[in-house]
Structure 1
Amino acid sequence: MAEQPTKAKPAPARPRRTDGEAREKAIVKAAIALFAEVGFGATTRDLADRLGMTQPLLYRYFASKDALIERVYEEVFVANWKPGWEGIIADRSRPLRERLTEFYLDYTHTVLTYEWIRLFMFSGLKGLGLNTRILRLIRRRIFDRVVQETRHAHGLPPATDVATRKRDVELVWGLHAAIFYIGLRRFVFGLKMPKDLDAVIADKVGAFLDGAPAVMAREQPPEA
């Protein structure tokens, strides 16, 4: 008796996104667009109208406006954070200017967007604290590391007192704020971005490294 050919097993079906998941994603996307356009004063009714759904249906996915705002924070701010940034800054096998330029170029192209800039500003104006949370992350993971690497690259000892560390961090704030202001000019004031944005970012990093180490090297008076 001839052996019967073995039938090939059907490939497992790919899991399909349910209607509920797709709708939730659409709500979040619309919320990001709405809040970035008019601010966090927009209501869930405004959002439901924009989506063409009822408020009760919207609340099936997000129990409150606060829950929706938290999801917006996760999507816009947390999801765009790249853990590799810290490694770029800390890689002492490369010149510091090269490292900082690479980091700030990537950071700039990640955060200087319509949604990121405007949601950041509206959060601060509304007192929601979303901007404070992301700034704490930047301060802890980026600023302190930039100070540490700048001192090391220029043969300066680590700052041991609180007053000196605060002054060092203020220098990094100056660099960071100058880059952020480019996005503010474009997405809040309606001005054009620089044509060669990468060259502008490289210049700002260069200005920081040409000046900050000299300031760090000065003996600072104790904080009152």
Structure 2
Amino acid sequence: MSDSKSNTGRPRRKNMRAAEREKLIVEEAVRFFAESGFEGQTRELAKRMGISHAVIYRHFDSKDALIERVYDHVYLKRWNPEWEQLILDRDRPLQERLTQFYVAYADRVFDYDWVRIFVSSGLKSYGLTERYLGIIRTKIIEPAALELRESRGGPEALPPSDTPPADEIELFWGLHGAVFYIAIRKYVYNIPLEINVEATVRATVANFFEGALHGTRQANMQAF
């Protein structure tokens, strides 16, 4: 047997190239933090990996630097820039656009590591959750709120450069939260999902638009 192989046929970790080891540390850190939260210690991560504590700090200057790489690996690399253009595609009804977005979004982020790290970051104030929600707000929530106003037409339409009122933004946060709560139930509360996720997401968006349009009709009736 070659000295570079273990009994399982995998390369011995001590012979791994620096880039390969760094990638492995990030991947192991993702699952470690998902299970232990960000209070988990890098010494425990090293022990779990079967490497010395110093090896981690040979690749990352600090625990914060490792967490930053985890954020990039789990969140930024899963973001699809095409979603941003989808929300603005006025050749299609807004309900259809948001349905397609949330079906794709759920497929991408309904993941054990993604959800648990997201929640852990919010509880421990590492700032990752706030940064990611900033992306959701600027790339999805605010544009969708403006698109809803545009689809309604009339004097309530706003220029694209303006920010929708806080109460309208909050409506879309409610939609986003309703979709994401499905994942919270499964990966944080460990409640088995006895539903078809895609069908539930589609129904959630449909219910949102039924309410939004109902609110518009009520406002129009009160104007006369």
Shift of residue 216, structure 1, vs aligned partner: 5.3
Contact 1:159 1:165 in 2 (8 A): no
Give the distance between the partners of 1:47 and 1:109, measured in 2 at CA: 29
TM-score using structure 2 length: 0.84
**Which residue is 1:191 aligned to?**
191
Which aligned runs of 4 or more in structure 1 are off by greater than 2 angstroms?
154-160, 213-219
**Which residue is 1:33 aligned to?**
31
- Worse-superposed segment, 169-178 or 194-203: 194-203
Shift of residue 214, structure 1, vs aligned partner: 3.8
- Worse-superposed segment, 151-160 or 203-212: 151-160
Q: Deviations over 1:144-163 (max 9, x none)?
A: 11111112222252258x99
**Which residue is 2:141 aligned to?**
143
1:44 aligns with 2:51: no
Give the distance between the partners of 2:127 and 2:216, measured in 1 at CA: 31
- Residue identity opposite 2:41 in structure 1: T
TM-score using structure 1 length: 0.84
**Percent of residue pairs identical:** 42
**Which residue is 1:222 aligned to?**
none
**Which residue is 1:107 aligned to?**
105
Give the distance between the partners of 1:105 and 1:139, measured in 2 at CA: 18
- The two structures, once aligned, show a CA RMSD in angstroms of 1.9
**Which residue is 1:174 aligned to?**
174
- Residue identity opposite 1:205 in structure 2: V
1:80 aligns with 2:78: yes
Shift of residue 213, structure 1, vs aligned partner: 3.6
- Residue identity opposite 2:208 in structure 1: F
**Which residue is 1:10 aligned to?**
none
Q: Deviations over 1:141-195 (max 9, x none)?
A: 10011111112222252258x9961000010011000011000000011112243
- Residue identity opposite 1:67 in structure 2: A
**Which residue is 1:202 aligned to?**
202
Instruction: Give the 3-state SS of the residue equivalent to 2:75 in structure 1.
Output: helix
Work out the number of aligned pairs and report it: 201
Q: Which has the larger radius of gyration?
A: 1
**Which residue is 1:134 aligned to?**
132
Instruction: Give the 3-state SS of the residue equivalent to 1:91 in structure 2.
Output: coil
Give the distance between the partners of 2:188 and 2:32, measured in 1 at CA: 15
